Amino acid sequence: MEFRLLGTVAIGTETGDVPLGPAKRRSLLAALLLRPNYPLSVERLTAALWDHEPPLHARGVIQGHVSRLRTLLTAAGAGTHGVGLITQGAGYVLRMPETLLDAHRFEELVALAREQCAPADAVATYQEAPSDVSGTSAGRERRVSGPGKDERIAGTYREIHVSTRGAPSCARPAFPPRQRSPRSPPPHWP
């Protein structure tokens, strides 16, 4: 089982994607996936789902979508993967191993690539990425193809990181690693 935030919001299983239904349900799932294992109040979810004035029955709409998401998760065998949509107080928590989330896997991949001193190793790390994180392997082949493509990518990587930073990326990262408590809101959350 996997949850995708990068691209179209989806729940993937061994048999294919789970049909999520309406856009509001996808948006609700996205809000919960942005904060896995963290309780989100109905008020916060309402603000996330409606740009302007929410409808008077917003709480009922959210409850209906939560109920349907629970049904879909159960049918997809989410419990066997440690996933559950829980009511907590006046809100909801999507309990899940964060490794099931493509955005989490992407952050791990970036961290691994930053640790590579040799540009070719960083390229190899990128190429090991699952297709949902880095695009399909066919897509990667179309963007950079031909003999010596790995060497060309590595050369470009070296030029960018060495000439603009004065040191290889493993010696001085271009961006500091993200340090965030599991309970602190992400920087883009209202």
Q: What are 51-62's pLDDT values in tens digits?
A: 889 999 999 999
Tokens of 82: 């440690």
More confident residue, 187 or 112: 112
Based on the fold, state whether residues 93 and 16 are members of the same structural domain.
Answer: yes
Based on the fold, state whether residues 68 and 155 are members of the same structural domain.
Answer: no
Domain hosting residue 51, numbered range: 2-98
pTM of the model: 0.68
Tell me: pLDDT of 150 over 50: yes
pLDDT of residue 149: 52
Based on the fold, state whether residues 47 and 79 are members of the same structural domain.
Answer: yes
**Other beta carbons less than 10 A from residue 21's beta carbon:** 12
Rounded Cα gap, residues 6 and 94, in angstroms: 18
Based on the fold, state whether residues 8 and 80 are members of the same structural domain.
Answer: yes
Helix (H, G, I), strand (E, B) or coil at 187: coil
Rounded Cα gap, residues 172 and 119, in angstroms: 14
pLDDT of residue 82: 97
How would you classify residue 77: left for phi > 0, otherwise alpha for psi between -120 and 50, otherwise beta? Answer: left
Does residue 189 sit within a domain? no
Exposure pattern of 25-47 as b/e (b: 16+ CB <10 Å)?
bbbbbebbbbbbebbbebebbee
Based on the fold, state whether residues 79 and 140 are members of the same structural domain.
Answer: no
User: By percentage, how much of the chain surpasses pLDDT 70?
Assistant: 66
pLDDT of residue 119: 77
Tell me: pLDDT of 68 over 60: yes
Based on the fold, state whether residues 94 and 8 are members of the same structural domain.
Answer: yes
Q: What is the DSSP string of 63-115?
A: HHHHHHHHHHHHHTTGGGGT-EEEEETTEEEEE--GGGBHHHHHHHHHHHHHH
Tell me how long the chain is. Answer: 190
More confident residue, 168 or 98: 98
pLDDT of residue 18: 97
Does residue 12 sit within a domain? yes
pLDDT band at 33 (very low <50, low <70, confident <90, very high): very high
Rounded Cα gap, residues 166 and 96, in angstroms: 41
Does residue 94 sit within a domain? yes
* Overall domain count for the chain: 2
pLDDT of residue 25: 97
